[in-house]
Structure 1
């Protein structure tokens, strides 16, 4: 699941997972408060929180501002690992480091012997890049790649994507995803997710 959510000032939402799930919370505009059984805290733009929640656990996201809207991305990745346990991680990134993909997360997938990986990058207009899909000899299963444009315009694998457009790629030619920013300060979210049988 990938939700692109906007929350009004002073409001909150509560979510509950039905199975073991890695939940990623990524602020886009404004900071946000969060709380779960794993703890409470505040996230700013430039941070991502990963909550590894077991079935039935919940979390809450709140807009702490009096007048401002906040915007954030929620990503849920089910995790069927036998040694899955509740935990959290906080990852910082700096989009001032432009024109390359920055690591956002790397999560083990016991079902496929591969990792789910995520990246984010801010690009100047006409800058291009190539993402190389991970190859693992131990896992014959392919990975899917999901691209989501947070701002600006990109061309990805010869497809035009505008702000908040997404593209799922199931069979990646040559295990490479080519993309080019067509506007300045364009931000791209890219995730490689192992496919199940």
Structure 2
């Protein structure tokens, strides 16, 4: 029963924050100099950052273990490369997944001359040697409203994560069912408001759920956007 599910809410205004004059990153979980006992990773979901980057600047991240990263542009496009390889452009409506071996360097660049970009960084750890191919998934939320659209590549599925995203009209309903009933589910509201598993979430709020076989939700505003991620707990 959903009423018995274990859960933790991460309110938008209680996220950690790293900031310089050229970027700002809000952290659901501990990252950089931000640490709070209640913000430890959720299963193999190690980082969930909401990042804004100034024009013509590059953000450098380091993989401290074998990792799968998903980048989800929300405002503007981004360039990304791994270990000084070729840059790959990812735009709004594209989810980029990269398999990142331990000790790799990830560079995320803003290609514009005078525009900010905003994107999500979602990092999962994976078992050593269990790294699959990288690539992009294209999706169109405006022409596929009121359903969840899968964003998974083999790299994410091998890490035990099957993310989905959807844009819903007010009172639009749905159910997210994890592939493995032993998995956890992480929910993030990008726009609008939702009731998820009997809990109210607003824009940029997160919710971790475990011991759950399915998650029901309802949009409380028009053009509300929600993201679900299945998470390995062991």
TM range (shorter): 0.7 to 0.9
Residue 39 of structure 1: how far off its partner (Å): 2.8
Structure with more helix by fraction: 2
Residue 69 of structure 1: how far off its partner (Å): 1.2
CA distance in 2, matches of 1:99, 1:131: 12
- What residue in structure 2 maps to residue 139 of structure 1? none
What are the within-5 Å matches in structure 2 for residues 85-164 of structure 1? Answer: 87-96=133-142, 97-105=144-152, 106-109=156-159, 115-135=160-180, 142-164=182-204
**What TM-score do the two structures reach when normalised by structure 1?**
0.88
Residue 68 of structure 1: how far off its partner (Å): 1.6
1:18 to 61, 64, 67: 64
Residue 75 of structure 1: how far off its partner (Å): 0.6
Bigger mean CA deviation after superposition, 36-45 or 68-77: 36-45
CA distance in 1, matches of 2:177, 2:136: 25
**Per-residue CA distance 1:29-63 (angstroms, 9 max, x = gap):** 11111222353121110111111011111111111
Quick one: structure 1 residues 80 and 165, their matched pair in 2 at CA, closer, same or farther if it must change by over 3 Å? same
Which segments of 5 or more consecutive residues in structure 2 lack a partner in the other structure? 1-46
Tell me, yes or no, if structure 1 residue 49 matches structure 2 residue 126: no
Residue 66 of structure 1: how far off its partner (Å): 2.1
Task: Report the count of equivalent residues.
Answer: 183
- What residue in structure 2 maps to residue 8 of structure 1? 54
2:223 to 182, 185, 190: 185
Report the secondary structure of 2:161's partner residue.
strand
**What TM-score do the two structures reach when normalised by structure 2?**
0.74
CA distance in 2, matches of 1:3, 1:10: 20
Residue 81 of structure 1: how far off its partner (Å): 4.5
Q: Is the 8 Å Cα contact of residues 82 and 100 (structure 2) preserved in structure 1?
A: no
Q: Is the 8 Å Cα contact of residues 66 and 129 (structure 2) preserved in structure 1?
A: no
